[in-house]
Structure 1
Amino acid sequence: MFAIITVTGADHTGIIAAVTTTLAEKDVNIVDVSQTLMDKWFTMILRVEFDETVLPIARLQDALDEVGTQQSLVIRVQSEALFSAVNEI
């Protein structure tokens, strides 16, 4: 399945490393990524692909919630289909 992951929070060293390391450990492939800094705020959007029969989206969210807590970030995972439907309205 394809999913959209958003990462937001105060900028600091190690954000990209923490998020992408967790994704690699879960065998989640990053298909596309965009990141930007707005003053002191970091924002990253990733389009990822993974096997939901092996890694349910809720388990991926749980793993990224741990990263979010450790890094003081807000990380959200949505199926690409849901993300697209919501943003087309």
Structure 2
Amino acid sequence: MTERQQERTAEGGVPTRIGQAVMLHRAGDREEARNRLAALWHELGPSADPLHRCTLAHYLAATQDTPRERLAWDLTALEAAEGFVTGGRPRT
């Protein structure tokens, strides 16, 4: 398997992993959901698919403790959304 194929395979699990964390959050385990989403955020890094970054930041916002933290993640989600709307990569 080429390196590019491995990347696609690894990223193919991203929506599933996000979904699992969201289910944890909806079941009441906000802290574990936040930990999993944050780990995935760091694992993917700034060059990840903008759609994945937007989705992760959106759900990370919902798991935060304060309005300020939620807003910061919401703004990050909007910035990532710019990447898939314009076809470019976000600045962060």
TM-score range, shorter chain: 0.3 to 0.5
TM-score by length of 2: 0.32
Q: Which has the higher helix share?
A: 2
Q: Which has the higher strand share?
A: 1
Which protein has the larger Cα radius of gyration, Structure 1 or Structure 2?
A: 2
Q: Identify which of structures 1 and 2 has the higher relative contact order when contacts are C-alpha pairs closer than 8 Å and 6+ apart.
A: 1
TM-score by length of 1: 0.33
